Amino acid sequence: QVHLVESGGGSVEAGGSLSVSCEASGMTVSSYCVGWFRQIPGKDREAVATIYSYDGYNPYYGDSVMGRFTISMDSAKKTAYLQMNNLKPEDSGVYYCAATTANNVLYCGVAHRSGTFPYVGQGTHVTVYS
């Protein structure tokens, strides 16, 4: 059974940086996607970033985080990392790690846009204060 173990997050002043990580414990296949979506109070769920397990190339990002957030993957550890730079107060919310098995990197794009992830972590709070 896949269990997503999240860590990181916290509070930071606007313009600062935070990072979160997600281990896909129990993932038995080598081809899968890992990503984050966030839930901000009063807003719809938003896709943040998604990456393919195999090579980590061509990750997918949400428009509002492009150029500020970077997702990476350590396939040997089955762990994805999200580095968040130049954080803004509007980035505050709960960040959920999510994962799905996949045949190829293109499926990660589909999952990213549709939010179709069967496995979801417990969520990590990110607070950015001005």
Residue 56 has pLDDT above 80, yes or no: no
Give the 3-state secondary structure of residue 45.
Answer: coil
Give the 3-state secondary structure of residue 85.
Answer: coil
Write down the pLDDT at residue 58: 84
Write down the pLDDT at residue 57: 74
User: What percent of the chain has pLDDT above 90?
Assistant: 92
Q: Taking all residues of the chain, what is their mean pLDDT, rounded to a whole number?
A: 95
Asked whether the beta carbons of 22 and 123 are under 8 A apart, the reply is no
